[in-house]
Each structure stands twice: as structure tokens, then as C-alpha cells.
Chain A
């Protein structure tokens, strides 16, 4: 077999090349199409099929999904990484030199939504999804643009998912909010496309941190 040349990046595929038309090997082949995430504030504008029909779902207690466009969760929520922490971040939150670079968990909120809800940077906010609620600090930023979909304005809220309660850098755990939905082929969970609600304030529970 010929060796794969260095410019073919799909190393798990025999010829190293990705394809649009995949005759075999994928459960949702042969052609890609647009599906909305399992949790979405809008109907799929292209097809009657809302989301991926072969996505792996675990419909059981503790992992509820909600209907499309559920008014309880109008905003799009995504989770992402920060440079200063690594994944679950137990090592980087426990080392002072990296912990002080991002010492507390936060959620990034567009200014339009923040103004509507009366939220300023460093205020406490509560994020809720169908699975649960957490409290975190707000960082109001223009880097999140409102989406105009189907004549509706939909806001995005973003949250780094590194934080937990052990170590110098602490914060509520973003994975409380995520849903267990798996990619049909890889089972990779869909935790960067969620819906949420947002409100100013804190959760009524005993305080762990001083501030």
C-alpha cells in the first residue's frame, strides 16, 4: 500500500482524504446535510427532519430533553476552552501560576442580552437548562454576536467548562447543564450546542466561596 502523503490529514481513512460522498462506514451517510442539535430554539429551516434521526439518545430520568423552541430555554448555550486551563483543569486549577490567570468560572454574555436582564460584568448569574442550574459570574462581551434566525433574534451565551470546586481557581461545573446525546458514529457528546435560560442572581444554596 502506498504511504499516505503528508498533506492528507484524515489519517484514520485509508487514502487520508475526507469525502462529501461516503458510500459506507457512516451511520448517517452517504451525503452530509443540516440537522439542528437535539436541543434547539428553532425549527430546522431546511427539512421536516429536525435533528439527526440516528443520534444516540438516552431518554431517562436525569437526562430530559426539551421540545424544539421551548420558551423556558430561549438562548443558545455553547461551552468552550480557555488557553489557561486544560480540560477538566484539576492540574491547572491547583497550580497557582495557571490558576491566577483565570481564577473564577464565568459565562460570556452579549451586551444586548445583558442590558435586557440588567446584568453587568462580574454580577452573579444563573444558567439553567433542562438538566439543571448553576450560578456563575458574568463577563459581558461584544465577541458574542446575536443571531438573526428566521426573523427572530437569538442570543448566544458561552461558558468555559474547566471549573470545579477543588483548587485555587473555582467555579460551578458547566457539565451540570449539558445533555447526554451521542454522535451516531463516534458517540461524541453534543455539549457545545445547547439551549439555556439566563437570569441575574444566585442560587439558594450554602455559599462555598467568600465572594
Chain B
């Protein structure tokens, strides 16, 4: 039997190693020096959607706990529902998040070894303890909240009031340590601008926490609370947008971050994280500010958009980062000494 010659087979050695990767077009600041047959000079982290989803939940829950605590200490009587929603959201995020992390481990049966030592140089070690503290304290705060709810809602639960302080402090950690986790690696996209990445994650955490609470208030609570929470989300989203723009510019100058600007994840980031996560909510919040009567629909739409955008942003940063580790040019741009 005569067969036609094969066509379209991979030519480059890089393409041979299993994965069929999209080609990203070159940019002016790109690396033009030597590489080893275009082979990756780093290995990407072996993490999957579970870690990205956990990062989203951690930020959301951590900030929700902070907002709940602030509402408990400073808010008026109308803000009790915010307190209640926040405490339940916080514990839910840790109850959902921890199994996701355990499932991502390649030997999940040994998950408890994360608490075997404390290593201050490792954000994963620091984070394991932050998660444990946050989970435990949030559980106590939520338990206290349940007791208060059972008792008729007017009693402020002492248990919850005490537990919420360490929970909120740990919640601040939950909102930010995941960025330190990404930056304390050699992956170019994550290591290039650690401060901006951390600020961005913090803003996203606060925005998603406030948006989730605002949604909860719209359905079961007070629309007045929703207004306040929308203001918080507006501030956080605006700050996040500014930081994203600054970060993008810095990365372009340094010749890194192409996978977040181009290709599939670049599109997801632009449309999902920037457009859906910042542009649409800011427009909705802005409209609601100038209207005489607040629109419930705009508030709900903005909250959903912030949540979707936050989720997409975490996934885009994770996957684009893994892709950047496989581009030798990105890494060598960062590691060549000045003048080469």
C-alpha cells in the first residue's frame, strides 16, 4: 500500500516535547541573544485550576472576614447582615479552598506534612499556617455567629467577637500571600514585578470580597449596605485597574509577560480580567453613583462581573505564568546583566 508523504509534522525540537504550543509573535523588547535550541530554561509549576481557584477563594474569603470585622466594630445596626454574611463567606472559602489545595498535591495523602515545619523563606509554608489560622478562627467566628443567630440575632456573640480579630488579621494574609507564593519563584511573569503583583492580588481580593457581600446584601439584607460595599468594590477595582496598567507597562519595558498580553491567555486576561473584571463594573458603579435612584440590576451586574473577572484574572496569571517559564527569551531577558 502506497501512502502519501506526511505533511505538517512538527519541525522544531521544542514542539517535539509533547505539547503543541501556540506561537507568540515577537515584540520590540524581546530577547535576541542565544538560547539552547529554543528549549525552556525553567520548569513551570505543576499546578492546575485548583490552585488558581483557591487563590480566588482565599482572597475573597480573607477580605470578606476583614469587611465583616470592620462592620462589626464600626458599622451601624443595619450592618449586622454584612457581619453575618462575611463570617459565613470566610469559613466557606476555607472549607472549599483547603480540599482544592490538597487535591492539587501529587501525593495528597501526605497533606499534613505542610505543618511539619515552619519555613519563613517559603510563602507556601507561611501560607499553610495562615490558612490554618484563618480557617480555625473563621470557623470559631462562624460558630459564634450561628449561636447569635439562634439566640435571636440581637445578642452579639462574644466568641465571634474575639475570634474575628485573628481571623481578620489572617484574612489580610489570605488576601496577599498567594502573590508572594507566585513571586518567590523563578517564573518570569511572576518574579518580574513582585510588589505590583501583590498589590494587584490585594485589590482583587478586596474587590471580590466586597462584591460577594454586596450580592448577598441585595438578596438577603439591606440595599443600603450594598451601596457601601459597592463603594468599597469601586475603590478596590479602580486601584486594581491602575496597578494592572502600571504592571503591564513595566513588563513591556523589561521584555517579559508576553503570554499575558498575547495568545489565548492574553485574550482571556484582556477580555475577562480587564474588560469584565474592571471596565464593566466601573461603568456600572459609576452609573449608579450619578443616578438619582440606585439600580439594583447595575449593582448585581457589577458584582457578578467583579467576581468573574477576579476568577479569570487568577487563572490567566497562573497559566500565562506557566507559559512564561517555558519561553527561554523571557527568562534570559530578566537574567542577562545590564548591557548584554
Contact = CB atoms under 8 A, between A and B. Distances in A.
Within 8 Å by CB, do A and B touch in the complex? yes
Contact of A124 (B2, B6, B16): B6
B1 interface: yes
B3 interface: yes
A201 B4 CA distance: 9
B9 to A, nearest CB: 8
Q: Is the interface of A mostly helix, strand, loop or mixed?
A: loop
A122 interface: yes
17 contacts: A120-B11, A121-B11, A122-B11, A122-B16, A123-B11, A124-B5, A124-B6, A200-B5, A201-B5, A202-B3, A202-B5, A202-B6, A204-B1, A204-B2, A204-B3, A206-B1, A207-B3
Contacts of B1: 204, 206
Q: Give the interface size class of chain B.
A: under 10
A80 B6 CA distance: 29
Interface in A190-211: 200-202, 204, 206-207
Interface string A164-202: 000000000000000000000000000000000000111
A105 to B, nearest CB: 17
Interface string A112-128: 00000000111110000
Nearest to A120: B11
Interface in A84-127: 120-124
A208 B108 CA distance: 41
B7 to A, nearest CB: 11
Nearest to A122: B11
Interface string B199-234: 000000000000000000000000000000000000
Contacts of B6: 124, 202
Given A204-B3, A206-B1, 6 more contacts: A121-B11, A122-B16, A124-B5, A201-B5, A202-B5, A204-B1
Return the 6 tightest CB-CB contacts between A and B, nearest first. Answer: A204-B2, A201-B5, A120-B11, A202-B5, A122-B11, A204-B3
Contacts of B2: 204
Interface in B1-45: 1-3, 5-6, 11, 16
Interface string B73-113: 00000000000000000000000000000000000000000
